[in-house]
Structure 1
Amino acid sequence: MKIIVAGVGKVGTSIAKQLSAEGYDLTLIDTNQTLLNDLVERYDAIGVQGNCASMPTLLEAGVMEADLLIASTSADELNLLCCMTAQGINKNLQTIGRIRNHEYTDQVYGMIDVFALSLVVNPEKQAAREIERLIRFPGFFRRETFAKGRVEIAELRIDKNSRLCDVSLMDFNSILKTKVLVCAVVRNGEAIIPHGMFVLKAGDRVFTTGSTEALSSLLKNLGIITRKVRRILLCGGGRVSRYFAQAMAKTDVSISIIEQNRQRCEELAEILPNAHIILGDASSQSVLQKQHLDECDALISCTGMDELNMIISMMAKSQGVPHVITKLSRLETGAMIFDSLDVGSVVCPKEQCCSTVVRYVRAMENQAGAAVSVHPIADGKAEALEFIVDSDTLHRGEPLKDITLRQNTIIAAITRGSKTELPQGHSTFQTGDVVIVVSSGDHVIHQLNDIFR
């Protein structure tokens, strides 16, 4: 499949990296020749310097032969014009546009055919939705939902005082008196698909699969108290804060936003009449103390600087804020700091946008049997994928103990109707079942049959 990525900033580079790793034929367009030279060498792609919305540039990039164009520049208008021009040249081309400005949201979705868009992605809005989920269901560092909400994969961190420290997975459920499955563990930066004899250690990040009720019981039995969030402090008044505050506007949650730009404060005060808008520097300890940081139920650090967000989150943790969420714009930073610094839950808009694009690309390549959803976990070192078993799926009706899976791959859950089963040796899957797969291998899983050896 031939794919054009127009605009290779943070998001575009992340998309190019993932698609290159999966073996797609890539052409990159950007005005920065130095950046292009670096990426072309790194990802074995073709580079074209120029304006991605101009016809000559698109023709040079091979738009006539391309299957997909991803417009990911920092300018929404340029992305829209790029998609419209490219689709005007090649009527069979599919397009993905990165549109971030809230003023365009309604008209873009309402006129998606006019703008020649196959898919619209908004990284900041996706991040806001993830933050909303973490706030509504506190207690875990991260939660991913599958099978229409019936199955979740949630992340826990094991410390030296945890009941799970030095416990083998064989004894996991008997100790906690609940049915969950440990499908992945991150230890020393490495993602592991564990076996029954695997022993959990302090510092491990554990990804567990189960129903919402089972995961709630897990928190309760671990002694992790999750009180309802009633007062939230947001540091930074950018797009993520705006989208999140708008989503929470109809709830009884009190929201305060600290922003140091006066004009932006005035805009937020007009848009969010029920929120408290504070003009100030969120990195100042005195400003945070004036907002009674120690009395907040949750703090969300989402300024435009990763380093500042980490500092603010660490301050909040030191003050005993129960729920801390940190926005990071660089995956590499998240992977580096996650194990070493206590910054609470991490949300990365770029990662979520990249995941959406990759899922769409895989679905294009495999229209039948493609993953219903794809979620990167463990700092992107593993994936959780949701499939629906169809008539072409191998090994239907066979006990799992008789099926050999690829290395570093596990079936984490099987949902049949309203019932969810954590797989055991005698478990089987049938046509129509939803199967959740977790893999940390180097191979790409496009269809469910790809997991079988």
Structure 2
Amino acid sequence: MKIIVAGDGKVGLALTRQLLREGHDLVTIDSNPQVLHMSLDQYDVMTLEGNAAAMETLREAGVEEAELLIAATSADETNILCCLTGRILNPNLHTIARVRNPDYKEQLFSMREQLGLSMTINPELSAAHEIFRLLQFPSFLRRETFAKGRVEIVELKVFEDGKLNGVRLSELYKIAKVKVLVCAVSRGEEVEIPNGDYRLQTGDHIYVTARAANLSQLLKNLGIGMSYVNRALLVGGSRLCFYLAERLLRAGVQVKIIEKNETRARYLAEILPKADVVQGDGSSQEVLESEGLRRADALVTLTDMDEENIVISMYGSAAGVKKVITKANRLEYSHMFEDMGVGTVISPKALCSNNVVRYVRAMQNQKGSVLALHRIADDRAETLEFLVDDTVPWRGVPLKDVPVKKGILISCITRRGDTVIPDGASSFESGDTVIVVTTCESPIMQLQDIFEE
């Protein structure tokens, strides 16, 4: 598929890397030649210097033959104009715009067709939603939702003194006492789709498929405390901070924000009157201690510098904060620092990349297309949700007899609102949705791709 990516910043680079991995033909547009040179050095991609919203530039990029235009420059208005111009030049073009300003929310909803937008992405809003969900169940390192919220895949770590250490997966039900399925295990640099003989050990990160309604019971039965977040400390008053603070305050959580810039701190205090906003350096140990770091139930570091977020999070973890979440745009930090006290690492650009990739795969396969896509285990595995239609083979056949490719697991089946954590006797039918977990390098475009030929 020919795709144009307008804007070669952090989000643009993340999209370029992921879409090239998917095998697409890309053209990248940016007004900064130095940024384009960096992109050209890293990736096999065509680059074009110019104004992405100008007709001449889009024509030169081949918009009239392209199937998708992604506008991810730093300016919302440029992104919207870019998509509108692209749609005028190519009425069949699919367009995705990054729009971050909450003031445009109403226009985007009511004027989507007039603006020529197929989809909008907001990295900060997506990240705020993800962080909020994690704070609802602080014991989970990560949560991914499927089947309209009825099913989740959650990440847990196996500790030496925990109930999971040394347990064979075939015996997991005796401890969990609810039907769950460990669909992937990350051990060191390796990620495996385990079978029943797999034995868990200290340090493993496990990815568990469970009904959303069973999450509380799962934690209780595993002996993992159900802690709740009543006081949250947010460091860095970014737009992401605003979105997150809004949600937390509506949920009745006490929110304190530390922001270095005085003007920004005053602005946040005005628009978030129920929050306690402090103007100060959140990387200062003295400031953190004086503002009640040790009394906080959760610490979320949201400054613009990954390194600063990591250091603050490590200090917060050492100070005994139960739940620590770190914003980092460089995904390599996630695996590197996961055991050093940074807690859960959230990448806004990665969340948006996943949404775009899901849309692209759906474009390629209108039948049996992917309904949801999430990456787990530091981007080394994928979880996908598919709708089963009449073209899918092996319907009605017990899973133990279905020839699924190596490195792929069907981890859940939903039928008319009823969720099944499957075993070998389970089967899927037309109209069901199924959740698939894969460690395969080649992308799964449609449900048919998981079966051996």
Question: Does TM-score exceed 0.5, indicating one fold?
Answer: yes
The reply on whether 1:357 has 2:356 as its aligned counterpart is: yes
Displacement of 1:41 in angstroms is 5.5
Unaligned runs of 5+ in 1: none
Displacement of 1:87 in angstroms is 1.4
Counterparts of 1:226 and 1:262, CA distance in 2? 37
Q: Which residue number corresponds to residue 233 of structure 1? A: 233
The more displaced of 398-407 and 186-195 is 186-195
Counterparts of 1:250 and 1:17, CA distance in 2? 37
Counterparts of 2:39 and 2:286, CA distance in 1? 43
Tell me the TM-score normalized by structure 1: 0.96
Alignment of structure 1 residues 49-448 onto 2, 5 Å: 49-338=49-338, 340-448=339-447
Unaligned runs of 5+ in 2: none
Aligned AA for 1:218? L
The more displaced of 217-226 and 31-40 is 31-40
CA deviation vs aligned residue, 1:389-447 (integer Å, no higher than 9, x gap) = 11111100001111111111000011112322111111111111110100010121111
| SS across alignment from 2:26 | strand
Counterparts of 1:334 and 1:300, CA distance in 2? 15
**Alpha carbons 2:163, 2:223 under 8 Å: kept:** no
**Alpha carbons 1:330, 1:350 under 8 Å: kept:** no
Displacement of 1:68 in angstroms is 0.6
Q: Which residue number corresponds to residue 21 of structure 1? A: 21
Counterparts of 2:32 and 2:332, CA distance in 1? 22
Counterparts of 1:158 and 1:33, CA distance in 2? 47
Counterparts of 1:200 and 1:185, CA distance in 2? 9
Counterparts of 1:74 and 1:238, CA distance in 2? 15
- CA 1:440–1:258 in 2, change beyond 3 Å: closer, same or farther? same
Aligned pairs, number: 452
- What is the RMSD of the two structures over their aligned residues, measured on CA atoms? 1.5
CA deviation vs aligned residue, 1:155-178 (integer Å, no higher than 9, x gap) = 001122222122221222223323
Counterparts of 2:173 and 2:330, CA distance in 1? 36
Counterparts of 2:122 and 2:195, CA distance in 1? 38
Displacement of 1:120 in angstroms is 0.6
Counterparts of 1:291 and 1:235, CA distance in 2? 11
The more displaced of 121-130 and 145-154 is 145-154
Displacement of 1:290 in angstroms is 1.4
**Alpha carbons 1:371, 1:386 under 8 Å: kept:** yes
Displacement of 1:185 in angstroms is 1.0
**Alpha carbons 1:327, 1:347 under 8 Å: kept:** yes
Q: Which residue number corresponds to residue 448 of structure 2? A: 449
Displacement of 1:42 in angstroms is 4.1
The more displaced of 273-282 and 176-185 is 176-185
Counterparts of 2:352 and 2:210, CA distance in 1? 25
Counterparts of 1:240 and 1:35, CA distance in 2? 25
Counterparts of 1:238 and 1:41, CA distance in 2? 31
Aligned AA for 2:30? D
| SS across alignment from 1:96 | strand
Displacement of 1:104 in angstroms is 2.3
Tell me the TM-score normalized by structure 2: 0.96
CA deviation vs aligned residue, 1:299-350 (integer Å, no higher than 9, x gap) = 1111111111111111221222122111111112223222x32211221101
**Alpha carbons 2:168, 2:198 under 8 Å: kept:** yes
**Alpha carbons 1:153, 1:209 under 8 Å: kept:** yes
**Alpha carbons 2:70, 2:95 under 8 Å: kept:** yes
Displacement of 1:197 in angstroms is 1.6
| SS across alignment from 1:83 | helix
**Alpha carbons 2:216, 2:226 under 8 Å: kept:** no
Displacement of 1:115 in angstroms is 2.0
Counterparts of 1:224 and 1:426, CA distance in 2? 31
Aligned AA for 2:419? T
Counterparts of 1:313 and 1:41, CA distance in 2? 33
**Alpha carbons 1:180, 1:215 under 8 Å: kept:** no
**Alpha carbons 2:193, 2:407 under 8 Å: kept:** yes
Displacement of 1:145 in angstroms is 1.0
**Alpha carbons 1:445, 1:451 under 8 Å: kept:** yes
**Alpha carbons 1:371, 1:447 under 8 Å: kept:** yes
**Alpha carbons 1:323, 1:344 under 8 Å: kept:** yes
Counterparts of 1:352 and 1:394, CA distance in 2? 32
Counterparts of 1:416 and 1:43, CA distance in 2? 43
Counterparts of 2:118 and 2:331, CA distance in 1? 26
Displacement of 1:285 in angstroms is 1.4
**Alpha carbons 1:58, 1:86 under 8 Å: kept:** yes
Counterparts of 1:355 and 1:424, CA distance in 2? 29
Q: Which residue number corresponds to residue 47 of structure 1? A: 47
Counterparts of 2:161 and 2:206, CA distance in 1? 15
Counterparts of 1:332 and 1:50, CA distance in 2? 31
Aligned AA for 1:68? L
| SS across alignment from 1:82 | helix
**Alpha carbons 2:134, 2:143 under 8 Å: kept:** yes
**Alpha carbons 1:317, 1:324 under 8 Å: kept:** yes
